[in-house]
Amino acid sequence: MSQIETNRLYFGDNLPFLRNQDYFPSESVDLIYLDPPFNSSQDYNVLYRERTGEPSSAQIKAFSDTWTWDDSAAHALYELNTSSSIAPRKLVLLLDTLQELLGHSAMFAYLTMMSVRLVELHRILKPTGSFFLHCDPTASHYLKLILDSLFAPTRFKNEIIWHYRRWPAKAQRLQRMHDVVLFYSKSHKDNRFNVLLEPLSEGTLHRWKGKKSFVEYQDEKRLVTKMTQESSPGSPMDDVWDIPVINSQAKERQGYPTQKPLELLKRVIQIASNPGDVILDPFCGCGTTIDAVEALNRESPTSEPRCWIGIDITHLAINLIKSRLAFRFGLGRKDYAVIGEPTTQEEAKALAYDENDRYQFQYWALGLIGARPWGDEKKKGKDRGVDGYRSFLHGPHRAYQKCIIQVKSGKVNSSQIRDLKGTMEREKAEMAAFITLESPTSEMKSEAAAAGFYHSEVMNRDYQRIQILTITQLLADPDLFKIPPGGDFLSLGRFQKESKPQNGLF
């Protein structure tokens, strides 16, 4: 059994990574939890919130959960049908039947694209491993059939119902207030399973006074229920979990549209893994699975902590996870690896000129300095000369001020710096950063220097008001950008560890 590299974030489509046996050897992961798109035919936005608790206008499309039968889906089905090593025969027969039933619909495209990934996830799961697939009732019955064809029906353990309350919607049906989590094991008997206990109900406590009880049977008929003198720690957890959704004021809220409660993921991890195990989330979104692993490691320290791996297709998600790890646990670049992000100037250029989604370069560049996107740039009239921002503490009362950021991948000149000064005035920003893929001219540097310095009363230090930062410089020195500590995750985490303010110039 090959060793797998852990505590890694992968940026990109998860399928090429999962198929790469250098990254994911067969039978190398102990627990897989995935919360893939639900085929909801919706676009989902990240809604940012300031660390002060105040809402922000920054809202960016995180991903589109709309599926169509296209070349990618057709190629996935072709691969499943033509390669005897990629999929079991039962899955191929099932997909043929579903194609007859559903046609080349959005649902069949979704199921095909999921199937080709589920095959790889089954391959990398250890014989003792467990698998949890989070879905909703619109596709859970189809997905269960697919998992039965991969794992076998006897490997099915539970259909966990996550029940919650939320604001009701007008509809000619009962209110939908639950999600489904399908729980499978790779083997029949040897899978990891830890019994979690729930507190005893008031009725049970009243009747049995918290003592353990047992039932005597003869010929499958109950004879009598007896009570011992030993106190009961609780009852084994059932398959209906009442866990609140993350409301708008919750401290754990990241603003990610499909974020799941930390408690939900901690339960999954505690049930199906032990210290030293490897947990994979191939659709990790804002990183709640990773957060849960790190939280459990700190709550119960051991010599062999649980390890994690996360994959996501957007830099918005990867940047949010980095910030979350920094703010929650003080983890930085030396504590985990990021695979798939640019590490050189040439790789950055390739991302910048990717016609599939040119905004990924912008999001990645903003992430280099811990900045957030400004707003929904794809709507007309939203381009106000600002791509992102950072908040920081300002003045004796520690109010929040902003540093606005522009990202440029093409040719640059001094007029852009002069325009940035005007944008600072319009947006009432105290500082600005100009991130460029190309080298700045000497005239640009002079224009930036002419903007002077911002004096932070909080830190009693001076900061250059307009800073020009090249991608090459930021790749070499992630701390090149200098800004007072403030409201975003990264700078707040640094501020808590920073030494006392000193006089001097950054």
- Give the H or E element holding residue 390: strand 388-394
Q: How many helices (H) and strands (E) does the chain have?
A: 15, 22
Confidence of residue 305 (pLDDT cuts 50, 70, 90): very high
Question: For the segment 237-282, what is each residue's pLDDT rounded down to a tens digit?
Answer: 999 999 999 887 788 887 777 789 999 999 999 999 999 999 999 9
Using CA atoms, how far residue 265 sits from 117, 181, 388, in Å, is: 21, 11, 31
- In angstroms, the first-to-last Cα distance of the chain is 51
CATH code of 52's domain: 3.40.50.150
Domain count, the chain: 3
What is the band of 379 on the pLDDT scale with cuts at 50, 70, 90? Answer: very low
Residue position matching structure tokens 């997909």 = 95
Concatenating the DSSP letter of every residue in 185-197 gives ESSSS-S-----E
Residue 142 lies in a domain: yes
Average pLDDT for 440-458: 95
Statement: residue 97 has pLDDT above 90 = yes
Burial class of residue 472 (count of CB atoms within 10 Å of its CB; 0-12, 13-18, 19+): middle
364-384 mean pLDDT? 71
241: which 2 tokens? 């979990």
| Judgement on whether residues 218 and 291 belong to the same structural domain of the protein | no
Question: What would the mean pLDDT of 184-190 be, rounded to a whole number?
Answer: 86
Q: Residue 224 to residues 180, 203, 215, 467: CA-CA distances in angstroms? A: 37, 19, 6, 79
Q: Which amino acid is at 96?
A: D
Element containing residue 231 per DSSP (H, E): strand 221-231
Q: 27 and 173, same structural domain?
A: yes
d(CA 444, CA 412): 9
Residues 407 and 464 in one domain: yes
Q: Which tokens hold the place of 380?
A: 């007309």
Examine residue 478 and state whether it is found in any structural domain, yes or no: yes
Of the residues 277, 312, 341, the one at which a domain ends = 341
Structure tokens at 447: 């224009």
Q: How far apart are CA 327 and CA 349, in angstroms?
A: 30
Same domain, 358 and 468: yes
Of 288, 309, 341, the last residue of a domain is 341
pLDDT of residue 383: 56
Q: Residue 286 in contact with residue 256, Cβ under 8 Å?
A: yes
Residues 79 and 175 in one domain: yes
Q: Which of the four pLDDT bands, split at 50, 70 and 90, describes residue 226?
A: low
Does 144 map to a domain? yes
Assigned domain for 414 exists:
yes
* Strand (E) or helix (H) holding 131: strand 125-135
pLDDT by residue (tens digit) across 210-221?
Answer: 566 655 666 556
In a domain, 266, yes or no: yes
Q: Mark whether 407 and 302 lie in a shared domain.
A: no
For the segment 370-394, the average pLDDT, to the nearest whole number, is 73
**62 lies in the same domain as 169:** yes
pLDDT greater than 70 at residue 452: yes
Percent of the chain with pLDDT over 90: 58
Using pLDDT thresholds of 50, 70 and 90, give the confidence band for residue 49. Answer: very low
In this prediction, residue 227 carries a pLDDT of 60
**391, 492: one domain:** yes
According to the model, what pLDDT value does residue 403 have? 94
**Domain assignment of residue 78, yes or no:** yes
For residues 214 and 326, membership in a common domain is answered with no
In a domain, 332, yes or no: yes
209: containing domain? 202-231
Check if the beta carbon of residue 86 is closer than 8 Å to that of residue 119: yes
| Domain annotation covers residue 169 | yes
Question: Which residues neighbour 177 within 8 Å (Cβ) at sequence distance 6 or greater?
Answer: 163, 164, 165, 166
Instruction: Please tell me whether residues 295 and 401 are part of one structural domain.
Output: no
What is d(CA 466, CA 386) in angstroms, rounded to the nearest whole number? Answer: 14
What integer is the mean pLDDT of 172-180? 90
- pLDDT at residue 138, as a whole number: 87
Task: Provide the β-strand partners of residue 399.
Answer: 394
Task: Say yes or no: 374 and 284 in one domain.
Answer: no
Residue 237: closest CA among 295, 193, 293: 193
Please state whether the predicted TM-score (pTM) of the whole model is above 0.85. Answer: no
Residue 486 — very low, low, confident or very high, per pLDDT cuts 50/70/90? confident
Give the CATH number of the domain where residue 477 resides: 3.40.1350
Say whether both 333 and 436 belong to one domain. Answer: no
